[in-house]
Structure 1
Amino acid sequence: MEVAEVLPEFADAFAFEEFNRMQREALPALLESDENVVASAPTASGKTALAELAICKALADGGTALFIAPLRALTNEKEDDWDRFEDLDYSVYVVTGERDLNPRRARHADILVMTPEKLDSATRKHDSRRYDFVTDVDVCVIDEVHLLDADRRGSVLEVTISRLRRLCDPRIVALSATMPNVDDVAAWLDAPAETTFEFGEEYRPVDLNAGVKTYTHGENTFADKYRRLYRALDLAEPHLREDGQTLVFVSSRQDTVQAAKKARDEIAERDLEIGPRGDYDFHAESKDKLENDTLRKSVLDGVAFHHAGLSKNDRDLVEEWFKEGRIELLFSTSTLAWGVNLPARCVVIRDTKLHDPLEGEVDMSPLDVLQMLGRAGRPGYDDVGYGWVVCDTAEADKYRRLLRDGKEIESRLAESLETHLNAEIAMGTITDLEDVMDWLETTFYYVRGQSRPEEYDFPNLRGRVRDCLEDLVDRGFVEMDDADLSIEATARGMLTSKYYLRLETAARFADLCDRVGEDGATLETGDILEAVATAQEFDSVSARQSERDAIDAVLVGHDTGDLDAGDRKVLAILRSGANGSVPPELRSDAWVIRRNATRLVSALGAFLDRFAGPHAANLARRVEARIENGVAEDAVGLVAIDGVAAGRASKLSKEGLSTPGDVVAAGVEGLVDAGLSDGVAEGVCESAQSLPAIDLEWGQFPDAIETGENEVREVTVKNVGEAARAGIRVTVNGVEMTSTNTYLRDTETVPVGVFGADADVLEFTVNVAFPEEPLVPIAETRTVRVE
């Protein structure tokens, strides 16, 4: 069945000309029906085409399609793959982080691509102008729906799909690798039997011979990696000698590089003839095109590595050369298993455990293992593919059972029920206990609980829900009316949901706000850094022995109290990152930790703004900007200027320009003298002028006052830049007299009481801070003698 015959107007949207057997059988359900569809099929059997068929039907009907990709690294790949739709005048838009979001493009896109986490965040804010596009979806394609069973991410996918269905009721098309309980997923999504498909192994384009191989476990984990590598090469060798390709999955980006280096030496030792050494055209091509020096040397021996840290150019070349057979041995992280269709005759999983910066050492998920092994076998080239799991003898039976029986998909909602319940209450979709039960009935948790009532403690479900609600009330996230048992979110609960926080973290942030609100309490940068470093999101971070000295060196002179080793590691990364100088020993985890920390500091800033005032929020905003950009404390205000990041801020600061006001005063000529080009200087100067800028006019403020006398004078706060929300605080001898939170368009008059107290000198300070900008507060002081 040819694509052009079935969908003539979309023929160019597909990467092939004919549908295979599996695609043909699913085609009527996708194109001739509006029912929800669930399809389970072996890896590499062509499930992506089912997604594209559903998208084509939605586009043909004038609708909008949403594709949920399992990993953030894969969303951009989809954008590239679907240039084919762009060529047909349909727009594809990947919805990424908060600051990069273009709501207008999202609103007008024909195909949206999002991760479950991003969709969760967007649906929580669906009633805002920024995210209203999410309620205008006609079909939602869930790629790899078996991720429902993934730690933490699974519950996010589950509640988000349930929420999306309540918001706009799109058609759902859920695709999955082989799973035994596909009927449970179909029941959850209301897919009838005629549009539920369970394609068995007979639909695999190449048979799979999968097994488990053990190695002798030693005391040294570093040496163990090489034991597993040699075991992997033993399994790959017979295929490599027959010009068959092997794909080896390892646990980290760094391991792909190290394993490839070691494998090249070992291949030479074993006298294995692979690689295009004599191909001078390839030699020249790789030299000219590859950006990574290590990769350039490696591919000449037929060995390569692939991970998300490589440039897109290098990843694309590795994939192309592997498909052409020029690369015969490829080391990769698990991302490749979920993304590009890159099969090999032999697949070996060298590492079944991995280091997660936020979780420490964790087992690779069973879903990942099955996904990787599914890459074994090259359609059109092999009759059988070989897949091996290399593991310690103690774990061999576990993996044998997985390969024999597969993995039933379970709900993970119970593990984080309180967090998701709080989010629904904050959105206003749950207002009493009955609403909670109605909501639960829309979840996979409810369906799976009916299948396995004892394992899910289903008979006690109502009691479990009541306990969750009472706990949310006791901890200040929810308020309940005793008279009618109605429930609504508190400000704490609303902020927790909006900023995607764990409840324990939100409670700690609220405690810090309470302490700041006490008389005489001041907030320091260290308080913010410690509150974030001890957030529950970082609870599983561990410090390796090799990192301890670097952590101690960063934290010397800072009181870290009774923080544990993991908290101290996070704190060291935040402190050093804020100064732009993370020690080499900590860099492997620093990127993930800093990215999560900026989100948490932003959330803490919102808590402080709501419960402690704009000055505290401004400090958090400055700390956030420093962690994100790695810029000195006195120059942090420069990054508020569009076009100024860490490098440019450092350059300007060294030339004595440390604030946007300095930049405006210097003008284009002064910025050119500071080392910027003419064009850049013009843009930076213009951007600096678009920020708020303060002039304080003290008027007829006295120099002296007699004891016992009182006068009220006025200080004018004038904003000569762009309007912005501001906090204006007046103190005398360090004690707050007045505090105002205002939207400062032009001027604000602040009354200041001058009184003849029992002090010899009164020091009045007017301090203006902007809670939403990382600008250093403006403060001016006047001294009055008491005579």
Structure 2
Amino acid sequence: MEVAEVVPEFAEAFPFDEFNEMQREAVPALLESDANVVASAPTGSGKTALAELAICQTLEAGGTALFVAPLRALTNEKEDEWERFEDLGYSVYVVTGERDLNPRRAERADVLVMTPEKADSATRKHDSPRYSFVTDVDCVVIDEVHLLDSEKRGSVLEVVVSRLRRLCDPRVVALSATMPNIEDVADWLDATPETTFEFGDEYRPVDLHAGVRTYTHGDNPFADKYRRLFTALDLAEPHLREDGQSLVFVSSRQDTVQAAKKTRDEIAERDIPVSSRGDYEFHTAAEELDNATLRKSVLDGVAFHHAGLSTHDKNRVEQWFREGKIRVLFSTSTLAWGVNLPARCVVIRDTKLHDPLEGEVDMSPLDVLQMLGRAGRPGYDDVGYGWVVCDTSDADKYRSLLDEGHEIESRLAGNLAEHLNAEIAMGTIRGLGDVMDWLETTFYYRRAQSAPEDYDFPNVRDRVRDTLDHLVEEGFVETDEDLGLSATRLGVLASTYYLRLDTAREFRDVAEGDLDDREILRAVASAGEFDSVSARQSEQDAIQKVLEHSGDEMEDGPRKVYAILRAGMRGAVPTELRSDAWVIKQNALRLLAALGAFFDRYDDPAGANAAARLEARIDTGVPESAVGLTAIDGVAAGRAHKLHEEGISTPEDVRAAGVSGLADAGLSEGVAESVHEQADGLPDVTVDWGDFPDAIPAGDNQMCEVTVENDGGSAKVGVDVTVNGVEMSEETGYLGGDGVTVPVGVFGADADDLTYEVTVTFADLPLLPVTETRTVDVS
């Protein structure tokens, strides 16, 4: 069955000329109907083509397809791969949290690519102009639908699919690695027997021999890594000596590098012939690699691959591995889910990994099976060999996984309250009847029907009703006399910022208090999202050095988070804390943005401004005096530091410097013009005291007016007036070109003088507050 005969208009979109046996069987279901399709097939058997066929059918009908990829790294890969669709005149647009959304491009796109998390975010905002495009989707292709079973991410995928089906009822095409209970997924998605495909191991392009090899666990975790590494090399060595290749999965980016270094020495010691040092052209090409360690390693036939490498280096490693120049490749799990890069021998060296937010966790069964599925090179090997290296105590668990596979379970029950609150906050659930209707659209409900004892099916509805009652009792949801449901201010904020409900309650209490910057940071560090963070013994000295005795009352985990945030504000996170710092900082920035919104919604612009400034400092590492620079579009960490070093520390300084002054400070002329223009669009505030007196007789009083004038862009502000440190008045609102006028009473009192202070705080911007004072003598 030739591609050009089946989809002649899209033949150039496929990287091959003929469909394989598995793809041929699915073609009629994908192209000759609009029915939902569920297909499971062994890793490496060509499932991507099924996704592309579904997309072709949608494009031919003039519709829009949404491809949901399991990892952010894969969304970028699809953007590169699907330039083939772009060449045919179709628009492919990747929507991720890393990029600024272009609503016009998204709306006009023929193929959208998102992760489950980004699809969740977009669908939660479907009724806003920026994200309305998500309700115009005609077909949703779910790549690796067995992600439903992921403890951390499965429930997100589940609610996104249910939500899309209620919002716009698209065709759903769900693809998966082999799973025993595919019928549960098919029932959930209303796929008929004719459009449900369970392709077994006989469709694997290469037979798989999978097994478990144990090692003896010791007291030293570093020594254990080397024990597992030597075991992995023992398993790979026979294949390497027969000109085969080995792919070894380890738990972290750093481990890929360290394992590659040690393996070069060990291979030389064992005299295994894998070096490519005699290949002059390869030697020359290796010099062009960006990563210095990789540059040396590849010449010895050993390399590493992880998401932190440059695109150029990753592409070269993949190319050279396919060509056989690299014989041993160490990688993180990302490679298993993404690039189809098979090897004769695949070894999973690490079954446990360190999660910055969870501590040490077991690798998911999904990851294990996905990795082993990369064993065997079609067209080269008759058999692929896959091995799990684990402690003796875990051996039976992994043998059972390899023998019986892994049933896909719903993970929705673990955070049912958060997802139910989100649906109510969006308005997709407006009454008790809607709650039960929503429940029946979930995989959780369908799986409970299939395994009633495991899910206590008779009580599932009661459990959901109890969850709803809890949301009402805790102030997230309110009801009316007609049993209607709506989200409270607290419920909306919790949904908008993806907060755990206990964190939302804590943030509400914080926003109603009067906290300084350090207390705000402590509140974030103590959030439930960081409950499982642990401080290793090797990190304690670094934490103490950053904090000294600050935060001594905190538990070790939150104190570690607090130390990373404090160090991040200085732009100098200690080496010992860097491995976890990025993930912790990203989560903290989200939580600070949420806390700022709480302050704003609870009418505390000073608190909102403090949160915004802390967020900017943690993100960029700029000093407090220069944090206002980060409010200028186009000024991130590098430019902010450069300008600050040249004595330009505020938007006012930028305006005063002019384009020429910014160019003198090291900015190119084009950038200088843009930065200056953006600074002009920020508020430029002065305080006009009007007829404010210099003196007042004791016992007299005078009503005056103070005007906050603004010669720049508008902003949401709080204007606070105090006299001798005692608050007199406070106003919040938008400050435009007309300014804000505040009545101020001047009363002759017992004091010798009265010091009036007007403070203008910017609720939504990381600008330092503007403060001016006036002293009145009392005679």
Distance 1:601 1:707 in 2: 47
CA distance in 1, matches of 2:520, 2:17: 58
Aligned to 1:366: 365
Matched residues in 1 for 2:114 and 2:669: separation? Answer: 39
TM-score by length of 1: 0.97
Residue 566 of structure 2: SS of its match in structure 1? Answer: helix
Q: Where do residues 622-641 of structure 1 align in structure 2 (5 Å cutoff)?
A: 622-641=613-632
Q: Is the 8 A contact 2:346 2:372 kept in 1?
A: yes
Measure, in 2, the Cα distance between the counterparts of 1:262 and 1:468.
52
Paired AA for residue 685 in structure 2: I
1:755 maps onto 2:747 in alignment: yes
Per mean C-alpha deviation after superposition, the further-off stretch among 669-678 and 389-398 is 669-678
Q: Which residue of 2 aligns with 1:658?
A: 649
* In structure 2, distance between residues paired with 1:494 and 1:304: 48
> In structure 2, what residue type is equivalent to 1:476?
G
Task: Work out the CA distance in 2 between the residues paired with 1:683 and 1:424.
Answer: 41
Match of 2:214 in 1: 214
How many angstroms apart in 2 are the aligned matches of 1:473 and 1:756? 51
AA at the equivalent of 1:776: L
Which residue matches 1:417?
Answer: 416
1:300 is aligned to 299
How far does residue 561 in structure 1 lie from its aligned partner after superposition? 4.4
- Describe how 1:571-720 pairs up with structure 2 within 5 A: 571-720=562-711
| 2:235 is the counterpart of 1:243 | no
Q: Secondary structure at the match of 1:467?
A: helix
SS, match of residue 716 in structure 1: strand
| Deviation (angstroms), 1:578 | 1.1
Cα deviation for residue 732 of structure 1 reads 1.6
User: What amino acid sits opposite 2:310 in the alignment?
Assistant: S
> For residues 400-549 of structure 1, what are the structure 2 equivalents within 5 Å?
400-481=399-480, 483-516=481-514, 523-549=515-541
**Cα contact 2:709–2:740 (8 A) shared by 1:** yes
Alignment match, 2:310: 311
Letter in 2 for 1:38: V
Residue by residue over 1:736-768, the C-alpha shift from the partner in whole angstroms, topping out at 9 and shown as x without a partner, is 222222222212221111112333222111111
Q: Decide which moves more: 651-660 or 364-373.
A: 651-660
Query: Residue 149 of structure 2 aligns with which residue?
Result: 149
Q: Provide the residue aligned with 1:385 in structure 2.
A: 384
- The alpha-carbon deviation at position 497 of structure 1 amounts to 0.2
1:323 paired to 2:322: yes
Structure 1: which amino acid aligns with 2:616?
A: A
Alignment of 1:86 with 2:78, yes or no, is: no
1:156-213 Cα shifts (integer Å, max 9, x gaps):
1001110011011110000000001101101100111110000010000000000000
Residues in 2 aligned to 1:786 and 1:122: alpha-carbon distance in whole angstroms: 60
- Letter in structure 2 aligned against 1:727: G
Query: Which residue does 2:332 correspond to in 1?
Result: 333
Distance in 2 of aligned mates of 1:427 and 1:733? 46
Match of 2:21 in 1: 21
Alpha-carbon deviation of 1:673?
3.5
Shift in Å, 1:683 = 2.4
Unaligned runs of 5+ in 2: none
Aligned to 1:175, the other structure's residue is in SS state strand
Question: Following TM superposition, by how much is the alpha carbon of 1:311 offset from its aligned partner in structure 2, in angstroms?
Answer: 0.3
Q: Secondary structure at the match of 1:752?
A: strand
Which residue number corresponds to residue 77 of structure 1?
A: 77
How far apart are the structure 1 equivalents of 2:9 and 2:670? 46
The separation in 1 between residues aligned to 2:778 and 2:107, in whole angstroms, is: 63
Q: Which amino acid aligns with 1:604?
A: L
| Number of the residue aligned with 1:519 | none
- What is the match of residue 58 of structure 1? 58
The letter for the 2-side match of 1:206 is V
What TM-score comes out, normalization by structure 2 length? 0.98
Deviation at residue 435 of structure 1 after TM alignment: 1.7
1:264 aligns with 2:264: yes
Cα drift, residue 557 of structure 1: 4.7
Task: Name the counterpart of 1:163.
Answer: 163
Tell me if the contact between 2:755 and 2:774 (Cα under 8 Å) persists in the aligned partners: yes
**SS of equivalent residue, structure 1 residue 243:** coil
After the TM superposition, which of the residue ranges 605-614 and 337-346 deviates more from structure 2? 605-614
Give 3-state SS (helix, strand or coil) of 1:741's partner: strand
Letter in 1 for 2:679: A
Which moved further from structure 2: 375-384 or 747-756?
747-756
Distance (whole Å) between structure 2 residues aligned to residue 401 and residue 392 of structure 1: 15
Give the counterpart of 1:781 among 766, 773, 776.
773
Between the aligned partners of 2:262 and 2:254, the Cα distance in structure 1 is: 13
- Cα deviation for residue 318 of structure 1 reads 0.1
Q: Could you list the per-position Cα deviations for residues 694-718 of structure 1 after superposition, in whole angstroms to 9, with x for gaps in the alignment?
A: 1211111111112222211111211
Taking every aligned residue pair, what percent have the same amino acid on both sides?
73
Amino acid at match of 1:601: L
Q: SS state of the match for residue 15, structure 2?
A: coil
Q: Aligned ranges for residues 188-203 of structure 1 at < 5 Å? A: 188-203=188-203
Query: Number of aligned pairs?
Result: 778
Distance in 2 separating the partners of 1:7 and 1:677: 50
Shift of 1:66: 0.3
Deviations, residues 57-82 of structure 1 (Å, cap 9, x unaligned): 11111111100000111110110111
Give the SS at the match of 1:30.
Answer: helix
1:125 corresponding residue in structure 2: 125
Alignment of structure 1 residues 22-61 onto 2, 5 Å: 22-61=22-61
Task: Kindly state the Cα deviation for residue 99 of structure 1 after the two structures are TM-superposed.
Answer: 6.2
Matched position secondary structure for 2:452? coil
**In structure 2, what is the Cα distance between the partners aligned to 1:679 and 1:515?**
45
Deviation at 1:420, TM superposition (A): 0.6
CA RMSD of superposed structures (Å): 1.2
Q: Distance in 2 between matches of 1:339 and 1:63?
A: 26
The separation in 2 between residues aligned to 1:35 and 1:564, in whole angstroms, is 53
1:617-662 Cα offsets, whole Å, 9 max, x none, are 1111111111111111111001111222222222222333211011
In 2: Cα distance, 1:571 partner to 1:273 partner: 50
- Counterpart of 2:513 in 1: which secondary structure? helix
Matches of 1:385 and 1:674 in 2, distance apart?
60
Residue 505 of structure 1 aligns with an amino acid whose one-letter code is T
Letter in 2 for 1:106: A
Q: Distance in 2 between matches of 1:762 and 1:387?
A: 80
Contact kept in structure 1, 2:34 and 2:171, CA below 8 Å: yes
Q: Distance in 2 between matches of 1:586 and 1:313?
A: 28
Asked if 1 retains the 8 angstrom alpha-carbon contact of 2:247 and 2:329, the reply is yes
CA distance in structure 1 between the aligned counterparts of 2:98 and 2:4, rounded to whole angstroms? 40
Q: CA deviation at 1:668?
A: 2.2
Write the letter of the residue equivalent to 2:319.
E
Which residues of structure 1 form unaligned runs of 5+? 517-522
In structure 2, give the amino acid aligned to 1:645.
Answer: A
* Contact 2:511-2:604 within 8 A present in 1 as well: no
Q: Which letter does structure 1 place at the counterpart of 2:513?
A: R
Code of the aligned partner of 1:351: D
AA at the equivalent of 2:769: P
Distance 2:277 2:412 in 1: 53
Task: Name the aligned partner's letter for residue 712 of structure 1.
Answer: M
Using a 3 Å threshold, how does the CA distance of structure 1 residues 111 and 752 change in structure 2: closer, same or farther? same
CA distance in 1, matches of 2:730, 2:82: 54
Q: Secondary structure at the match of 2:126?
A: coil
Q: SS of 2:454's equivalent?
A: coil
